[in-house]
A and B are shown apart, each in its own frame.
Chain A
Amino acid sequence: MQNNFPNEGMSVIVKTITRFTVWLIFLYGLYIVLHGHLSPGGGFAGGVIIALSYVHLTLAYGKNFVLARVDKFAMNSLESIAAILFVLTGIVGLYVVGNFLANFMGIGKLYTLISAGYIPMLNIFICVKVGMGLYLVFYYLASFKPQEG
């Protein structure tokens, strides 16, 4: 990874270790989300872990390093798109089955990855919403400067 802001963030040791661990954290978050219908966890828990991997990067490398790679506008948009998709899933359930947020897909076989109807899909929407939202909350809180205002 090209680092354009080498003077920000923490020491070299922290940066080197972060380079190894942040992927593991991110992948663990994805695992929790995708297995949300089979094991404890789900969209919210996984989303928090994914947001924490970004927070980890921000702490180690400084916020400019992260913002050069992810677009804040895109994060904001993704957050609302995920929420809209969640509501639309509910409306599809309303018109296919007759109840808001009813399951309109096949249930599948128990203990397989693709099962439980729409729940994995909803988990992914929640994960995007929570991950983006929590990271943005962290970013905005961290970017306040006391001497302003």
Chain B
Amino acid sequence: MILYLMCFFLFLVGVYGAITKRDLIKIILAIGIMGYSVNLFLVLLAYRTGALAPILEKGFNVPMVDPIPQALVLTSIVIELGVTALMAALAIRIYQKYDTFDITKIRRLQG
């Protein structure tokens, strides 16, 4: 249980970073941390003490780890890769236009 709470704590660390930091790169890293905490949570869900890799064979009667969360983690890593790459590209283009990574100086929109 304490491990799950630590995952949630890591998630909150990510949220805190994404909300309070002013640097575009730090925001991207904070979003990465949020993603890692969720991935960690999913992997912990699948873990069973002393279990084997889930390859089914006839007459195979040992406890196995749950394969579905592992597949979910792989997929979510791929998605995070896409989002991070896109946000890094946007950050670089913003730097070209504004010459800064500081979000308090990037305020041409009023909303």
Contacts and interface: CB of A to CB of B under 8 A. Distances in A.
Contact present between A and B (CB < 8 A): yes
B89 A140 contact: yes
A141 B89 contact: yes
Nearest to B57: A110
Interface string B92-111: 11011101000000000000
Contacts of B74: 44
Please report whether the interface of chain B is mostly helix, strand, loop or mixed according to DSSP.
Answer: helix
Contacts of A148: 96
B88 interface: yes
Contacts of B93: 144, 149
A108 B46 CA distance: 29
Nearest to B78: A44
Interface in B54-111: 57, 74, 78, 81, 85, 88-89, 92-93, 95-97, 99
Interface residues of B, number: 14
Interface string A137-149: 1001100101111
Interface residues of A, number: 12
B53 interface: yes
Contacts of B85: 137, 141
Nearest to A142: B92
B92 A144 contact: yes
Nearest to A137: B85
A146 B93 CA distance: 8
Contact of A141 (B92, B97, B99): B92
A141 B84 CA distance: 12
A141 B96 contact: no
Given A141-B85, A141-B89, A40 B96 contact: no
Nearest to B70: A40
B72 to A, nearest CB: 13
8 contacts: A44-B74, A44-B78, A137-B85, A140-B89, A141-B89, A141-B92, A146-B96, A149-B93
